[in-house]
Amino acid sequence: MDLKSVFLNGFIEEEMYVQQPIGYVIKEQENKVLILKKALYGLKQAPRAWNKRIDKYFQDYNFSKCPYEHTLYSKLSDNGDIFFVFLYVDDLIFIGSNPKMFENFKKVMAREFEMTDIGIMAYYLGIEVKQMKDGIFIHQEGYAKEILKKFKMEDCKLVNTPMEVGIKLSRDKDGEIVDPTFFKSLVGSLRYLTCTKPDILFTVRLVSRPTITHFKVAKRILRYIKGTLDFGLFYSFSNDFKLLGYCDSDWVEDLDDRKSTSGYYFLMGNTAFTWCSKKQPIVTLPTCEAKYVAATSCVILGAQDVWEVVSKSYDEPEDEVTLSQAEKDVLQAMRKKDQKVVMTIHHCLDDGMLQKVASAENAKQLWEILQNSF
């Protein structure tokens, strides 16, 4: 759904005045000004005023705001039906377990705001959505083609991987510099493409310096994208969903500061919905320490956030987060400063938030793409 003239719906808290507009000047009162009661386009306060109003409106109707994604609201009915609303400026996306809640929501919103029902979502912020009988497929084929055209790579040769095997990148301080603005535009475009392509996330994270070496790696990513334009994420329908999280790390692979890289992703059913590839904040000595740091970041940044949202959405959540390689009997071998990291994992295991599992088969270790270069 699309809200019309969205910034005109916000209420101004400050006392503000404007000159009388041309054509509406009151005779014999030309020196007077008008006081604003509602926001106007062009005011710096307009976006904030609109956000405050819509936020209060949702909460007045018993919607709960997600503490980690402030534009996501959820509502749980008395009979157990769940309803989600996502707000982006003047666009509303909603989904739920009962179609009747859709119609009620539309009627309630139409009474308060002037809106247009666009129908079933097919395109949103560069992400294409195909809704089929057996599931929902999201991809960014159109956006990827625009990137290839923008950087003149439409006719490039294809490659099978986004990065050469075993390549190591450094800051390359003495390397030949390319146009920084052009390079930042390329990296920024690639970063947004990771919304539906987690397979390029690790490589995109590495290209950070506007040098010839990093630019060549970025161009290889484009060559890989050219051959995977129709790749995306497919969310199949199922009545047996299980929340799973996996994490792992490499070991001191960064050439500049010898820090390790953590990678994790979470699946709902058989499809990933959140993932991360990030350099660790400390230098780890043994490999088991690096893996504990990765598991801790997964629990703190990922699992606990997801767990809290799920637990607030359902009265009795039956899902459990499973982390592969999260429990190793090396507590006595760790230094004092690392025991906090270890105890975080142990407490989560004791609380039942995490579950110990055997190591996955090599073919199923999908998190490897988030923490090493193939």
pLDDT tens digits, one per residue of 281-329: 888 877 777 777 777 777 665 555 555 555 554 443 333 344 444 443 3
Alpha-carbon gap, residue 239 to 306, rounded angstroms: 19
**Residue 127 belongs to a domain:** no
pLDDT tens digits, one per residue of 25-44: 888 888 889 888 888 888 88
CB 227 within 8 A of CB 160: yes
- Same domain assignment for residues 205 and 249: no
pLDDT tens digits, one per residue of 197-208: 998 988 898 888
Q: How many domains does the chain have?
A: 3
- Residue among 291, 302, 278, 277 nearest 353 (CA): 302
Final residue before a domain boundary, out of 201, 227, 253: 227
Q: Scanning the structure block, which residue is given the tokens 């490039």? A: 156
For residue 214, the enclosing domain spans 139-227
**Residue 233 belongs to a domain:** no
**Residue 129 belongs to a domain:** no
- Same domain assignment for residues 42 and 160: no
Which residues neighbour 175 within 8 Å (Cβ) at sequence distance 6 or greater?
209, 211, 212, 213, 214
> Which tokens hold the place of 56?
């209060």
- Same domain assignment for residues 244 and 330: yes
pTM exceeds cut of 0.85:
no
